[in-house]
Amino acid sequence: MGIAGNKQTLSNRFRADYCGLLSPARELSPVRLAGWVHRKRDHGGLIFIDLRDHTGLCQLVIQPEHHELFTQAEQLHAESVICVEGIVVPRAEGAVNPRLASGEIEVMVSLIAVESHAQPLPFPVADEVQTSEELRLKYRFIDLRREKIHDNIIFRSRVTAAIRHYLEEKDFIEIQTPILTSSSPEGARDFLVPSRLHPGKFYALPQAPQQFKQLLMVSGFPRYFQIAPCFRDEDARADRSPGEFYQVDMEMAFIEQSDLFAILEGMIEHLTRTMSQKCITQFPFPRISYKEVMNRFGTDKPDLRIPLEIQDVTPLFVGSGFKVFANNTVAGSCVKALVLKGRGNESRLFYDKAEKRAKELGSGGLAYIQFKAEGPKGPVVKFLLEADLSTLKSHLGLETGDVVFFGAGKWESTCKIMGGMRSWFGDLFTLDKEELSFCWIVDFPMFEYNEEAKKIDFSHNPFSMPQGEMEALENMPPLDILAYQYDIVCNGIELSSGAIRNHKPEIMYKAFGIAGYSREEVDQRFGHMIEAFKLGAPPHGGIAPGLDRLVMILRDELNIREVIAFPMNQQAQDLMMSAPSEVTLAQLRELHLKVELPKKEEGKG
């Protein structure tokens, strides 16, 4: 137990002292300890017990002179809860255990009171062997005794405390917003809660306190924050828990994008410096436009530590003899290249695997050229002229021994495929896990073209302020309009999105008009927001970094469950509490609900 505090002061009949805090300073003084039997070593004539509490471990010694005490100790099992009294004694020279904080001393026990006999556990606490997720989640209360995850939860508490402290210093006000609220028409699927008092009507759990925090700005609170639970009925990922998660939800009035960046950078720098050994690559965080990040990294959440960049080679293939590339030199399409220095002489398998990955990412294939000492090699070489190859070489800075991979097609999908390859090839490099490479992704487009619906849609939050405001909406081609919409990204993980909001009703009507909504429809769907903005709304903006992801990054965890005390599994079930579960007919009746399950298909599968 590495990171628990040292301000344990409570002294009562159970304990007056703490295992991890004992040191030679307490030599020969009587102590009263309580905790779990971490390990027992029974030598027949002498028994050692490692006692564990929240602060750490301490070795107890039980000598055979007290027969009753010795018999008690003999019968103890791992994870039983005991309270002991004894005397702190220095360990003999050579018997010191440098791996234990309390390793210079041990406690000669004079009294043992067993508070709880533990039966054999489904999995060991002391040996932190890999255990199946299923068992760990079912017996989460045992899993949480294990040092690593126990420390993660303590660390998370420290992070939230530090965030509160930092933001309160900056005049932020913490305000709780409702959990039972109304369904919002945009975004993820809602969790619904039936209303007993209003038959046939439902509350929805908030996907985020988005509208509330904006309304708090209208109410004149200049800076709001909340460690806010958010509920979205969407599927899980390693970095995304199903159902519910926490955001450090923030909103500020009378600010511009750069003001918000400065405050958030300050908070993250503070957390990193005070809570970790990690180091931030660049400060202030680099700002990269959406278009640039897609062109260079092929994703809007790049891991900037990977020393690879995608390059554009579209102009080089205008009129090329290789039709697949030449056909993608038209507007809206592109040809992209990704160079791997010194990887031009790998086995055929290396390139085949890369192509397989590209196909998994949705590409038709993965053209490549190996620049070997004996000349260029690869499936597309035969389509290219000598001149094309040398232009390529000088344009991309290619040398003998290098390989270049190509992607061609529609701009966005090609960028994404090459971005997927960039992060796949990222495994070839050793990334410094003590490095936090933060960046802001800015200048997201306000609108995008929806191919299926053949219409213009909002590409992100419809309440974001368009850059250039009304003038831009009236005069610019819609797809060229940018929004004050930004993401903060660290090491390939998106921590949060945020935006400067649109607080002007007329601009909102205009923006919704471009996306095909009439004034009446907007009033119907977002009437209360628009109404609020007609009654005196300050300019405002905000962001909401994911707390779980922030803790993951600071603790080097790859799975979000490792930083959540009681997480659900991938199927959004709580295996410990058996949620979700069926309810009684009486409960359903009171809520005016009737369950109709889908019929299972008969016969063969």
**Helical (H) or strand (E) element with 375:** strand 375-377
Per-residue x/- track, 442-461, RNA (CB under 7 A):
--x---------------xx
375 binds RNA (CB under 7 A): no
Per-residue x/- track, 485-524, RNA (CB under 7 A):
x-x------x--x---------------------------
For RNA, which residue of 1, 22, 100, 252 counts as binding (CB under 7 A)?
Answer: 100
For RNA, which residue of 134, 168, 521, 590 counts as binding (CB under 7 A)?
Answer: 134
Size of the site for RNA (CB under 7 A): 70
Residues 48-67 that bind RNA (CB under 7 A): 48, 50, 59, 61, 63-64
**Nearest residue (CB) to RNA, 86 versus 378:** 86
Distance CA 85, CA 106 (A): 12
Report the DSSP pairing between strands 173-174 and 192-194. Answer: unpaired
- Rama region for 217: left / alpha / beta (φ>0; ψ in -120 to 50; rest): alpha
Q: What is the CA radius of gyration of the chain?
A: 31
Distance CA 111, CA 376 (A): 80
Q: What minimum distance in Å lies between the beta carbon of 148 and RNA?
A: 15
For RNA, which residue of 131, 195, 311, 400 counts as binding (CB under 7 A)?
Answer: 131
Q: What minimum distance in Å lies between the beta carbon of 278 and RNA?
A: 22
Residues 272-311 that bind RNA (CB under 7 A): 300
Residues 343-372 that bind RNA (CB under 7 A): none
Q: Helix or strand or coil: residue 573?
A: coil
Per-residue x/- track, 142-181, RNA (CB under 7 A):
----------------------------------------
Distance CA 112, CA 106 (A): 15
Q: What minimum distance in Å lies between the beta carbon of 370 and RNA?
A: 27
603 binds RNA (CB under 7 A): no
Residues 393-422 that bind RNA (CB under 7 A): none
Instruction: For tokens 């016969």, name the residue.
Output: 603
**Nearest residue (CB) to RNA, 245 versus 351:** 245
Per-residue x/- track, 570-589, RNA (CB under 7 A):
xx-x-x--------------
From residue 207, give the alpha-carbon distance in Å to each of 9, 435, 495, 542, 603.
Answer: 41, 32, 16, 16, 40
Tokens of 392: 């390529």
**Nearest residue (CB) to RNA, 392 versus 465:** 465
**Nearest residue (CB) to RNA, 42 versus 435:** 42
Q: Count the residues in the chain.
A: 605
Tokens of 594: 């009737």
Q: Exposed e or buried b for every residue in 438-466, given b needs 16+ CB within 10 A?
A: bbbbbbbbbbbeeeeeeebebbbbbbbbb
**Nearest residue (CB) to RNA, 400 versus 413:** 413
Distance CA 519, CA 4 (A): 57
Q: Of the ranges 41-49, 109-117, 275-283, 589-597, which one interacts with RNA (CB under 7 A)?
A: 41-49
For RNA, which residue of 312, 569, 576, 591 counts as binding (CB under 7 A)?
Answer: 569
Instruction: For tokens 């998106």, name the residue.
Output: 494
Distance CA 418, CA 395 (A): 18
559 binds RNA (CB under 7 A): yes
Q: Cβ contacts of residue 272 below 8 Å, gap of 6+? A: 278, 279, 280, 436, 554
Q: What minimum distance in Å lies between the beta carbon of 127 and RNA?
A: 5
320 binds RNA (CB under 7 A): no
The residue among 69, 3, 482, 31 whose CA lies nearest residue 275 is: 3
Half-sphere exposure of 185 (CA within 13 A, CB side): 8
Binding site for RNA (CB under 7 A): 39, 41-46, 48, 50, 59, 61, 63-64, 77-78, 91-92, 94-97, 99-100, 103, 106, 120, 122-124, 127, 129-135, 137, 186-189, 207-208, 230, 232, 234-240, 300, 444, 460-461, 485, 487, 494, 497, 544, 559, 561, 569-571, 573, 575, 605
